[in-house]
A and B are shown apart, each in its own frame.
Chain A
Amino acid sequence: MASKPSDPGGDTLPLLEPGHTFGSITDKISSIVLTGRTPLFWYITFGVGFILVLVLLFCITALVAVGVGLFGVMIPVAWGFAIVNFVWWIGIGHAGTLISAILLLLRQKWRQSINRFAEAMTLFAVACAGIFPLIHLGRPWFFYWLFPYPSTMGIQPQFRSPLVWDVFAVSTYFTVSLLFWFLGLIPDLATLRDRATRRMPRFIYGMLAMGWRGSAIHWHRYEIAYLLLAGLATPLVVSVHTVVSFDFAVALVPGWHSTIFPPYFVAGAIYSGFAMVLTIAIPLRKLYGLEDFITLRHLKNMAIVMLATGMIVAYGYLMETFTAWYSAEIFERYMMMNRMFGPYGWMYWLLILFNILIPQALWIRRLQTQPWVLFLIAIAVNIGMWLERYVIVVVSLHRDYMPSAWGMYSGTVFDYGVFVGTIGLFVALLFLFIRLLPMISIFEMRELVHEEEGRSQ
C-alpha cells in the first residue's frame, strides 16, 4: 500500500491497515451493532448522558412553567448563554457535512471512515442547537409564528430580518443533513438486514433498508443523487453559519457590526467541528478497536484542517482588533479595549490561549500523530470556541453606546443546567447511534478496499 506519488509530505501512513477484505470489513463494522453484548463503557457513558438529559428536561420544564426570567438575561445583555450555546453547537455541526460533502466532491478518500459518525454528530449538534433559540423565545409554544402561515391574526413574519433567515437556514440544514445521512445509510441497513440473525433486528433493519438489493441500476442513480446532494450541501454549509453571523453583523452593536463576520464565523465553525470530531473519534477508535479503519492518517489530516482553520480564525481576531483601531471610532476602540482589559478580559486572554496559542503545537509533525495530544488540543479548541462566542455575544452587549445603560451579566444555574443538559443529550444520542447503526460507512469501506487493492497491484 504505497502512498500517492504526488504526496509531497511523504504521507506513508495508510488510510486502511492492510489485510482487510470485503468480508472482514463488513463483519467487523456490523458486529459492533449486531452483537448481543453491550460493553460496560457504553452503559457508563450513556448513563451519564442520560442523567444529564434528565437535568435538561428539568430545566426546560422549569423554564416553560416559570419563564425565561430563570436565565440570567437582562437588559443590556438580552442574549446570554442561550445564544452562545446555539452558535457553539451549530458550529460543531458544520464538520459533519463538510467532511461528507466537500471532501466527497474533492475526492478525498480519507473521508470514508469518518463521514458517517461525523454526519450523525452534525445531526445531534444541530438538534442541541435548536433547543436554545426555542427556549429563548420565551413562549416556545408559539414557535410556529416564525413560519409564514395563514394565521387568523393576519400577521406574517418579517423576511427582512436575519432572525427569520436563521429559522430557514437552520431547519434546511437539519433536513438536508438528515436526508444525506439516511441516503448514505440505506445500503448499510441492507447489510445489517442480511447479517442479522435474530428476528427483530432483521425486521427493523429490513424496514429501514426499504428493500435495497444493490442493483447496478440502483447504484447508478444512487451515486448521482449522492453527488448532487453533496453539491447542494456544500454551499449550504457555508450559508448556514454566514446567516448565523448575520444575526450579529446586521445589528449596530460595536463588536458585531462587521463585514468580517461571515467568513470568520464559517472558519470558526469548521474549526470547532473538526475539534469535536477528534474529541469523539479518538476515544471511540480506541474503545471499539477501530484503529485499522480510523488510522493515524485520518487523525493527522483532521489535525491539519484544524490548524488551517484555526489560523483563519486567528486572522479574524487580528483583523477585528486592527479595524477597531483603524476605524478611529471611539465606540469600536472602546469595545476592543473593554474586550481585552475590561471586567471580562480574562475570558479574552483565555480564548486566545485555547484557540490560538495551544493549537500552534500542531505545527510539530510528531504531535500530529499522537492521538492523546490531539485529544487534549481538541478539547482546548472546544472550550476556546465556546469562550469566543461568549466574548462576542456578552462582552459586546454589556457595554455599548450609553454608559448609563451598561451592565454586567452572568449565567444562572438554569443557564448552566441547560448547557450541560444538551451536552448530555448529545452524548446520549451519539451512543445510541453507535449501538444501533453502523458508525462507519460499510459500503464505502468496501470501495476503499477495492481501490487500495487496485493500487497495490
Chain B
Amino acid sequence: MAKLPIYGLIAEFDSPEALLEAAHRVFAAGFRKIDAYSPFPVDGLAEAIGFHYTRVPLIVLIGGIIGCLGGFYLQYWVAAIDYPINIGGRPFNSWPSFIPVTFELTILIASLFAFFGVLALNRLPMPYHPVFNVERFELASRNRFFLCIEAVDSKFEIERTRRFLDEIGSLGTYEVES
C-alpha cells in the first residue's frame, strides 16, 4: 500500500458529551477506522466507536493460574524433591504451609500480567504517533476532546469527511500529517 499523504482528520470538541454524540454519529455514518481521545475515561466511548471486547481479563486470569500452580509447585519441588528435610515430623509435602506463598505468587504474577498486558495491548511504549503532529492535540491531556477519522478508512474522502465532521459539531477540524 502506498503511503497516504495524511494520517487522517481530527475534530475537536469541548465536552465529553459532545465527543460521545459525535462518535455515535461517525460510527453510524459507516466509518470504522476511527479513534477518540479524551483527558479522562468517558463511559461508553469505546463502545461508541465499535470496541466492545478486551482480552485484559483473560490475560490476568492466565497470569493468576501460572502464579498459583507455579508457586505451589516451586514449594513442593523444594520441600519434597530437591531438599527434603524432616521438620518436626511434618510430611515433606505439608501443603497447608505452602498456601501463603502460593497466594502471594498468584497475586504477583497476575498483577505483572495485568500491567504488562495492558501496555502490550495498547502498543505502549510508542515513541511516535501521528496525532501528536496536531498542535492542538496537546490539550487532549488537559480539557479538550478529539475524534480522529483515519485516512485508511474506505469511506474516507478528505473534503467530504471534513464537511461531515464540521456538521456534527466539530469546533475545529485539522489534518493529521502522517
Tell me if A232 and B110 are in contact (CB < 8 A).
Answer: yes
A236 touching B121 in the complex, CB below 8 Å, given contacts A190-B141, A215-B36: no
Minimum C-beta distance from B109 to chain A (A): 9
* A17 is an interface residue with CB less than 8 A from chain B: no
By a CB distance below 8 angstroms, the chain B residues around A169 are 100, 104
By a CB distance below 8 angstroms, the chain A residues around B37 are 213-216
Interface members, chain A 219-238 (any B CB < 8 Å) = 219-225, 228-229, 232-233, 235-236
* B164 is an interface residue with CB less than 8 A from chain A: no
By a CB distance below 8 angstroms, the chain A residues around B115 are 179, 182-183, 225, 229
Tell me if B90 and A222 are in contact (CB < 8 A).
Answer: no
Contact of A446 among B39, B97, B121, B132 (CB under 8 A): B39
Tell me if A216 and B42 are in contact (CB < 8 A).
Answer: yes
* A450 is an interface residue with CB less than 8 A from chain B: yes
Tell me if A221 and B82 are in contact (CB < 8 A).
Answer: no
* A142 is an interface residue with CB less than 8 A from chain B: no
Interface size class of B (residues with CB under 8 A): 35 or more
Pair count A-B, CB < 8 A: 191
Contact of B54 among A180, A211, A224 (CB under 8 A): A224
Minimum C-beta distance from B161 to chain A (A): 19
Minimum C-beta distance from B104 to chain A (A): 4
Minimum C-beta distance from B143 to chain A (A): 4
Binds A, one of B1-9, B122-130, B151-159, B166-174: B122-130
Binds B, one of A157-165, A280-288, A296-304: A157-165
Tell me if A224 and B56 are in contact (CB < 8 A).
Answer: yes
Contact of B75 among A159, A193, A444 (CB under 8 A): A159
- CB pairs A–B below 8 angstroms (25 shown): A148-B78, A155-B83, A156-B82, A157-B78, A160-B79, A164-B101, A168-B100, A176-B111, A187-B40, A194-B138, A211-B125, A211-B127, A214-B38, A214-B39, A216-B36, A219-B38, A219-B46, A224-B56, A228-B114, A232-B60, A235-B107, A243-B104, A443-B39, A447-B40, A450-B40
Could you list which residues of chain A lie within 8 angstroms of chain B, going by C-beta atoms?
21-23, 26-27, 148, 154-160, 162, 164-165, 168-169, 172, 175-176, 179-180, 182-183, 187, 190-191, 193-195, 210-225, 228-229, 232-233, 235-236, 239, 243, 246, 443-444, 446-447, 450
Q: A216-B49, A219-B46 are in contact. List 19 more A-B contacts (CB 8 A).
A: A159-B75, A159-B101, A160-B94, A165-B104, A168-B101, A169-B100, A169-B104, A182-B115, A210-B125, A211-B124, A215-B36, A216-B46, A217-B51, A220-B51, A222-B41, A224-B118, A225-B56, A232-B110, A239-B103
